[in-house]
Amino acid sequence: MHIEWKKLLFAMGVPLGVGVLSAWTTREAMKQYGGLNQPPLSPPGWVFPVVWTILFLLMGVSAYLILTAQVLPQPRARAMYWYYGQLAVNFFWSLLFFNLQGYLGAFLWLCLLWVWVLMMIRAFYRISPAAGLLQLPYLGWITFAGYLNFGIWYLNR
């Protein structure tokens, strides 16, 4: 298998860059998270950056598979539309939840993210089943995050 290194570095750099930017913009607001009433099954704080790093790496690999797939431009453009869109929605969730402490609004925004990720998975799977399947942990994590987000809103209103 021939690796196109420039495309791979780009594909890995974009989601990791979004993750770094998100962490940087919410770094001060993260401190208040530990003081909130947490729902059952809430993981310790160190779990979040570990999981998100893994998920962003999986996003990068998936994007690389789409960028290098032998496919017509239109399906690739549609898949990448959902990909970049979900990254943007993901980024703004952090601001809503951590910086603005709008927990109910963040939950609703997370529901929107869930739909965007599902659409991305669908578009990716049509081009590369492996690329689509690599995103299932992300969808699972967002589902769990929805439970946590809703629980935090409910317990801290």
pLDDT tens per residue across span 95-141:
999 999 999 999 999 999 999 999 999 999 999 999 999 999 999 99
Q: What is the pLDDT of residue 78?
A: 97
Angle among Cα 119, 122, 127 to the nearest 5 degrees reads 130
Q: What is the pLDDT of residue 29?
A: 80
Scanning 2-41, the segments in alpha helix (DSSP H) are 5-26, 30-33
State the average pLDDT for the chain. 96
Note the pTM of the prediction, 2 decimals. 0.94
| Residues 52-93: tens digit of each pLDDT | 999 999 999 999 999 999 999 999 999 999 999 999 999 999
Q: What is the pLDDT of residue 32?
A: 85
Closest of 154, 3, 28 to residue 99, by C-alpha: 28
Q: Does 30 score more than 80 pLDDT? A: no
Q: Which region, left, alpha or beta, applies to residue 3 given φ > 0 means left and ψ of -120 to 50 means alpha?
A: beta
Q: What is the pLDDT of residue 34?
A: 83
Average pLDDT on 3-30 reads: 94
Q: What is the pLDDT of residue 154?
A: 98
Average pLDDT on 45-57 reads: 95
First vs last C-alpha separation in the chain: 53
Alpha-carbon span 25 to 44, nearest angstrom: 21
Could you say which of 3.70.10.10, 3.50.30.50, 3.10.20.30, 1.20.1260.100 is the CATH number of the domain covering 5-155?
Answer: 1.20.1260.100
